[in-house]
Structure 1
Amino acid sequence: MPKPPGERPTPHRGRRLLTTVCVALALLAPATFTTVQYWNSTASEATFTVAEQRGVAYLRPLTALIAVLADNQSAAVAGHTVKTDEVRRAMSMVARADETDGRSLRVHDTWVNLQSDLSILLGSPPSGLAAFSAYSAVVDQALFLAARVGDTSNLILDPALDAYYLMDAALLRLPKIMVESGRMSDLNLMRLGGGNADLSRVLVARDHVSGDSTALQSGLSKSFGFTASPTFGPDLLSKVDAFRAAVGALAPSTALISQPLPTDQNAVSSGRTVLLQASMQLDIAVLEQLNGLLQVRLDAQQGGVRQVVRWWVVGLLAALCAALSALLGLGRGIRQAVNRTGIRRHRRASAAPEVLRGTRPGTGEDGAGRPRRKEGLGASR
């Protein structure tokens, strides 16, 4: 029996559904794989950046503590009153940062040890040469803690040049300049007072200040050259100018042998105080700029993930719609096939009585084509 025009076999519809599903999966599978890979990569980068921000948050109070310790070291060596309340306030700020991020940065134990040693030092503050040795020990511990924060927070591994040189200034250069400039002044004071310090140790400390300041200024110049951030502005430049003037007065970047020391210790102490303040202000500005760069980077990373996920969801919905459409088409085909099967069965059922009587359905003839004799009373006549 020929098929009515426009009708297609149900198997064709099944194959069309299978083809549609396969095409949808073929398009969706690589898109899903790419999305997952991009998600993992960007999520890892975002985690890296968040760790850097934790490091910046920890370094802010820690650098302030280093500056306060270096200043009080000079006061103790000179026999002046130590500002213990100022040191304790700085310690409390670091303690807060450690409570928030110390364990995630894996520096909590190092801070606890430093905190304990500082408490002992403040309990019985020494003076003179003993103060120089005692404060140098805890300051070195604080510098080690800062370096540890740089390692565990990934700041030391930052791949962007502008952020890297900002990190170099805030983490490696400025804290050492604060400390070495104070030691230079303290050693010179002890030398002039007949203590256990000679000129070579003073010159070495000043050379450290000069070398670190030169590297710092060079790095910041590169940071300005490589950055695309609009946040680099006059505020940071003004801090750099003030720092340059302060370090030039105390430790100019000339050959070591041609650096005459001021004969007046008051001039050295005053120059060192100016440099300490300029270094601290520059460190605050540099950390602020660094945190701004990291936040912009984090926003871009999170925005990229959201955009990819949105496109993946759109693709998934399109694939589901195509599969659903094909499935509905298959359902219609099955219903039509069932209806055609029912019609054929009904036709066969209607024709069955005539076939059983030997008559061609609908003709009244027998199997040989002859008119069938009528049965009953009328046939005998």
Structure 2
Amino acid sequence: MVIRAIGALFGAAATLIGRLRYAQKFVVVGLVLLIPLGFVAAAYVGLQRNQIAFSAKERNGVAYLAPLVALAARTAQARHVAVTGDRAGVPLDGEIAAVDAVDHRLAPKLGTGDAWAATRGLVVAAHQATGAASARYEAYNTAMQALSDLIVRVGDLSNLTLDPDLDSYYLMDTLQFRLPVVLDNAGRAADLAVLAAAAPATAGTQALIDLGLTNGVLAATRATMARAVTTITATTAEADVRSRTGASFDRLNSAITRLTATLTTAVKDRRPAEIPADGAGAVQAAATDFAAQAATSLDRLLEIRIDGFSGRADRVELATGLAALLAAYLFVGFYLSVAPPIRRIVATLHAVAGGDLTQRVAVETRDELSFVAQALNETVAKTEAATNRLAQEATHDTLTGLPNRVLALDRLGQALKRGRVSVLFIDLDRFKPINDSLGHHAGDQVLIEIARRLTTVLHGVDTVARLAGDEFLVICTGAEVPENVAELIVAELSRPIVTGTGAAAREVTVGASVGIAYAHGSTELTPEDLVRDADVAMYRAKQRGRGRAEVFDDTLRTAVELRLRTQEDLRHAIGGGQIRPHFQPIVDGVTAAVVGFEALARWQHPTRGLLGPADFIELAEETGLIVPLGAEILAQACAQAVRWQRDRPGRRLSVNVAGAQLADPSFVATVSAVLGDTGLEPHLLSLEITETTLMADTEAAVETLRAIAALGVHLALDDFGTGYSSLTYLRRFPVEALKIDRSFVAGIGQDREDEAIVGMILNLSRALGLQVVAEGVETAEQIDQLRRWGCPLMQGFYFGRPMPAEQIEQFLEAPQPVLS
């Protein structure tokens, strides 16, 4: 099991590698390994370069911090001198100049120019301040705070606060954050001692509090620095850094310890005068020395880190370069060994792709390429044979051997360029029943015989083609008279055709309708246009009785144009308020009382006026617009029925449903939504479906109708007696009413067969417990006979024509016909 899984997983790789020679395997595998290795190496080198740039920026920050810390220390001394009242002061020019120089060099890289300019102004202003000692003290405090902020800013801008190594990080932390605090607070302690000694009692108390706070800051900072130095000496690998840092901090630690002890005693005894005036000097001197040592050590660690990054990047680049050279060397060898045969193979493939299937490739090698060449030659030979066969199949009908639509349109296009041409569009009249009743095998036999007859009797025409199904096309470009050719076709295809053999032999009659279209040398017509025109003419032949030929003329062209305009207008009419229901009354067969209405679609066209269903329903069905149109009529009719129920409750509404609506997957949901939106009770709605609609897909129709019936909606079978339904189908459908087709009602009193059919339908409905509506009732004679037969409901012009909703009230108020 495991072996099979491994084989399935690595089968493709094993197949690929197994077809290569060992040298080729080595080259391919080497390249597969080196390419990702190159990407990895490039990424690694890029990372090292980024780290170098990161650390170099840190070194810039260290270079900037060193003179800044020195300036902070000098400023603290100057503050003390200002507090003691020495007007000579401590010169700051040297330290300021040092920071000026480093800022001039590094400000473009770090972006510190504006911050240093502001801080420099505060330092100079404090140094030049006059007045009371306390005022000068506050000025220096402001300058010291600005220096501390700038030191922190430099650390942030130079990545020092993001340093990843413990030793360098703690050196940075001490230099950037701790030493400025020590320098400031040590000096502040001496300054506060002087101010406390000279201040009144209340101010002296505040000064002692400030001294205590300052002492606490110094003690806490010393402890933090001690932990940092311990971490540095424990983690750094540089002995010089360990010794320098430890020795320098020992001096600073001792100075801070002595100062904090003195401050503790002075604050405890409330004798600030015992704090020596130069008590902070030792701490500041040691802090300045430690800052210099820390900056040097930090710079050294960063330099070592940069050297490490550079060395690793150089080594990786060197190794990658050597690997690339080796790969290139091997690839060139591979190229020289296989490129010429491959070029010959590719040249042959290009020739084959260009349609030249006579080319063959010759490869004089003893490796696998020779097998490739042999396989290619065999494939080309087979392709040549298959292409010749497919060329025939692509342009000819496989069943009849006639040219197909593609070849027919191509030949028609060539004929149009030469001048006058005509086409005959042939559609068999009774072919579908043969397929349905005798099977597709019999249908194929009929099509083959039709093709044989056409090619036999029309041997002089340019092309006889089969377009699709039972549609054929004849192209005439010679001296033939298309009308004569069409008559010959109709006569020839009207003769019976024998299908099957032996006992299964059957004689069938098909017949054909023919449409003729002329080009008359027009350069504007395309082959598709001419075939379409002939198709339209053929449909007129169908409409005029079939088994005949019709010519496409200006009348048909006008009809086609009108049809296209009507189709476009209908798209805008649906949803545009132009499609409206008219209502025809349905009456009780005994009392003539109106029991309901049938909603019938009408189109209030903006220019053509009111159009009946004959003007647009068939077009709507063909274009698929019948689905939204039917939904709109259903919604309007149901809304109107709800309004009638308020004053005249109980009257039912009937609405016709087209086949496309019934087949639409959303039809049931549409009916349910309309009932919910309008509030019409489902039992007041009846949907009318024709037998032809049900027979199109009986299984789907049964499912849909059962879902409709489940909503509580009634179902009626419209135009009953004209379709092909059987009693078995009638029992399967959840139909509750039958509507006798108007053609049978019209024959009452004139045609005994029509009367027999009407009587049979009435007897059948009573036997099955179905309601019956007789449509097309127009005469009193028809009414009398229907009443004698016991027809319960009637509908027709005798009782009322379809009318808009606003006329219904007037109709109901008028006297109704009285049945004798």
What TM bracket, shorter-length normalisation?
0.7 to 0.9
8 Å contact from structure 2 (residues 74, 95) kept in 1: yes
Equivalent residue for 2:83? 77
- What amino acid is the match of 1:74? H
More helix by share: 1
Equivalent residue for 1:251? 260
8 Å contact from structure 1 (residues 262, 268) kept in 2: no
- What amino acid is the match of 1:59? L
1:288 has 2:293 as partner: no
- What amino acid is the match of 1:53? R
Equivalent residue for 1:65? 71
Equivalent residue for 2:239? 230
- CA deviation after TM superposition for structure 1 residue 169, in Å: 1.3
Residues 73 and 211 of structure 1: is their aligned pair in 2 closer, same or farther, counting only changes over 3 Å?
A: same
Deviations 1:235-271 (CA, angstroms, capped at 9, x unpaired): 33222221121111111499x7996468464743222
**Counterpart Cα distance in 1 of 2:292 and 2:215:** 23
Equivalent residue for 1:190? 195
Instruction: Please give the residue correspondences for 1:205-284 in structure 2 after superposition, counting only pairs within 5 Å.
Output: 205-252=214-261, 260=268, 263=271, 265=273, 267-284=275-292
**Counterpart Cα distance in 2 of 1:37 and 1:339:** 43
- CA deviation after TM superposition for structure 1 residue 189, in Å: 1.1
**Counterpart Cα distance in 2 of 1:155 and 1:203:** 32
- CA deviation after TM superposition for structure 1 residue 19, in Å: 6.1
Identity %: 24
**Counterpart Cα distance in 1 of 2:113 and 2:364:** 80
Equivalent residue for 2:57? 51
**Counterpart Cα distance in 2 of 1:244 and 1:37:** 46
1:106 has 2:108 as partner: no
Instruction: Please give the residue correspondences for 1:63-212 in structure 2 after superposition, counting only pairs within 5 Å.
Output: 63-83=69-89, 86-194=91-199, 196=203, 197-212=206-221
**Counterpart Cα distance in 1 of 2:112 and 2:161:** 15
- CA deviation after TM superposition for structure 1 residue 125, in Å: 4.1
Equivalent residue for 1:314? 322
Deviations 1:129-158 (CA, angstroms, capped at 9, x unpaired): 001110101110010000001111111121
Deviations 1:150-187 (CA, angstroms, capped at 9, x unpaired): 11111112111111111121111111111011111111
Residues 93 and 262 of structure 1: is their aligned pair in 2 closer, same or farther, counting only changes over 3 Å?
A: farther
8 Å contact from structure 2 (residues 76, 187) kept in 1: yes
8 Å contact from structure 2 (residues 166, 235) kept in 1: yes
Structure 2 portions without partners, runs of 5+:
1-19, 343-360, 366-820
1:313 counterpart SS class: helix
**Counterpart Cα distance in 1 of 2:108 and 2:213:** 37
Residues 219 and 233 of structure 1: is their aligned pair in 2 closer, same or farther, counting only changes over 3 Å?
A: closer
8 Å contact from structure 2 (residues 52, 309) kept in 1: yes
1:269 counterpart SS class: coil
Q: Relative CO higher for 1 or 2, CA cutoff 8 Å, sep ≥ 6? A: 1
**Counterpart Cα distance in 1 of 2:27 and 2:243:** 60
Deviations 1:10-57 (CA, angstroms, capped at 9, x unpaired): xxxxx7698676444312211111012112221221111111101100
1:137 counterpart SS class: helix
- What amino acid is the match of 1:164? Y
Residues 171 and 34 of structure 1: is their aligned pair in 2 closer, same or farther, counting only changes over 3 Å?
A: same
**Counterpart Cα distance in 2 of 1:157 and 1:339:** 65
Tell me which structure has the larger Cα radius of gyration.
2
8 Å contact from structure 1 (residues 169, 216) kept in 2: yes
- What amino acid is the match of 2:233? F
**Counterpart Cα distance in 1 of 2:93 and 2:60:** 22
If the length of structure 1 is used for normalisation, what is the TM-score?
0.77
1:302 has 2:310 as partner: yes
**Counterpart Cα distance in 1 of 2:218 and 2:363:** 95
May I ask how many residue pairs the two structures share in their alignment? 325
1:31 has 2:31 as partner: no
Structure 1 portions without partners, runs of 5+:
1-14, 342-381
Instruction: Pick which of 235-244 and 287-296 moved more.
Output: 235-244
**Counterpart Cα distance in 1 of 2:244 and 2:180:** 20
If the length of structure 2 is used for normalisation, what is the TM-score?
0.37
8 Å contact from structure 1 (residues 52, 155) kept in 2: yes
8 Å contact from structure 1 (residues 21, 323) kept in 2: yes
- What amino acid is the match of 2:71? L
1:205 counterpart SS class: helix
**Counterpart Cα distance in 2 of 1:103 and 1:261:** 53
**Counterpart Cα distance in 2 of 1:154 and 1:113:** 22
1:234 counterpart SS class: helix
